[in-house]
Amino acid sequence: MYAFKHLLTALLLCTLCIIPYTASSADTNADYRGYVWRIDTAAGNAAELPHNFRTAASPFQTRTDAAKFGVDPNYTPSREGLDALPLSGSAEFSVPAFHALLKDLHTRAKGSICIVDLRQESHGFMNGNAVSWYGKHDWGNIGRTKHEALRDENMRIRSAQGKDVVLAHLDKKKQPKNQQTIRVTAAMTERELVEDAGVRYVRLAVTDHKWADPQTIDNFVDLVKKMPADTWMHFHCQAGKGRTTSFMAMYDMMKNPSVPLKDILYRQYLLGGAYLAYDPTTQHAPAGWEDADYHYKSEMIAKFYDYVQQNHEGNYAVPWSTWLKKNP
């Protein structure tokens, strides 16, 4: 029986490697297909916390980019309800940085810890390094369902075990630099890393630079509703900026509905996140996909605030996706 189970596992893994994908918009546009294993975070120093780590109780930072984003440097937002939130965010962590993160969070958390992975792109760990299969704009899985994206991720991480793999950082033009070939002796997904440490892992697959789709936000709202109030929520994406700030801000809104939208967005920015109200199309005509995405995200974060205002007293019985159809 033992041998049979291992044979069955091997057959399933082999099958996973050869099953073709269901055609999607990403599969018909080679521009976005992955072309390099990017080093997101090198294994580095085991004592180092992930880049862009902050908690809701972190002090406000002095930002030097306020003028670029149209932020009033003289406005100090309220911290009402902020310091008590069991909430943090960061960039992607290496394996050593994950253990440093857990050590830190265990000193802060009164309840359990939940790691919320916001990345749609295929990523994982090779020899302790955080890596991702990078395509143009980080859109290697754009157009794929969550199931398809996770299948791609699992196949790529599994197939790297025991192989020689080329890893690289990216230059300013997103081309590989400082390439290195490693023999992968330890390959694992983030779910495996987190759950092996006895911590809950949740995946909300959001395309980089984009606003999350309605079903993903429905899942997020449901997660927050059902999570014990003392559960420590740690959100992360690749850089710890756009997607991470969006979900930290939405969590802040749900937990502190009496705080004005401006204060929520300012304080998440001053903690070290992105300024979610930034809309370059108010300064000049849209110049490309980034401007259009910034504009859309600035509209949607304000809509989510309106959703919270109208639905928090009913404990969000109306899903975001349903509300959004009636409030386009």
Provide the CATH number for the domain around residue 230.
Answer: 3.90.190.10
Structure tokens at 1: 């029986």
Q: What gap in Å lies between CA 158 and CA 152, rounded to an integer? A: 10
Q: What gap in Å lies between CA 131 and CA 294, rounded to an integer? A: 26
Contacts of 279 (CB under 8 A, 6+ apart): 294, 295, 298
Note whether residue 320 is domain-resident.
yes
Q: Pairing between strand 232-236 and 113-119?
A: parallel
pLDDT of residue 229 exceeding 70? yes
Note whether residue 112 is domain-resident.
yes
Contacts of 117 (CB under 8 A, 6+ apart): 190, 191, 201, 202, 203, 204, 236
Q: Where are the beta strands (DSSP E) in 97-171?
A: 113-119, 123-126, 129-134, 164-170
Note whether residue 32 is domain-resident.
no
Cα-based torsion angle of the residue sequence 194, 124, 91, 142 in order, rounded to the nearest 10 degrees: -120
Note whether residue 241 is domain-resident.
yes
Note whether residue 68 is domain-resident.
yes
Structure tokens at 191: 């779910």
Which residue's entry shows tokens 């959703």?
A: 307
Reference 304, options 270, 261, 267; nearest CA is 261
Q: pLDDT tens-digit profile of 107-117?
A: 999 999 999 99
Helix ranges (H only) for 19-71 are: 66-69
Note whether residue 96 is domain-resident.
yes
Q: pLDDT tens-digit profile of 175-196?
A: 999 999 999 999 999 999 999 9
Q: pLDDT tens-digit profile of 250-281?
A: 999 999 999 999 999 999 999 999 999 999 99
pLDDT of residue 22 exceeding 50? no
pLDDT of residue 201 exceeding 50? yes
Count: domains in the chain: 1
The strands making up 36-41's β-sheet, listed across from edge to edge, are: 176-183, 164-170, 36-41, 129-134, 123-126, 187-188
pLDDT of residue 238 exceeding 60? yes
pLDDT of residue 21 exceeding 50? no
306: containing domain = 46-120+189-326
Note whether residue 128 is domain-resident.
no
* pLDDT band at 306; cut points 50, 70, 90: very high
Q: What gap in Å lies between CA 65 and CA 34, rounded to an integer? A: 32
Q: What gap in Å lies between CA 177 and CA 310, rounded to an integer? A: 49
pLDDT of residue 28 exceeding 50? no
Question: Which element (helix H / strand E) includes 42?
Answer: none
Write phi, then psi, for 62 (nearest 5 degrees).
-90, 110
* pLDDT band at 30; cut points 50, 70, 90: low
Q: pLDDT tens-digit profile of 149-166?
A: 999 999 999 999 999 999
Q: What gap in Å lies between CA 132 and CA 33, rounded to an integer? A: 12
Res 24: pLDDT = 43
CA angle 148, 135, 321 (to 5 degrees): 45
Note whether residue 293 is domain-resident.
yes
Q: What gap in Å lies between CA 257 and CA 276, rounded to an integer? A: 17
Res 284: pLDDT = 85
Res 46: pLDDT = 78
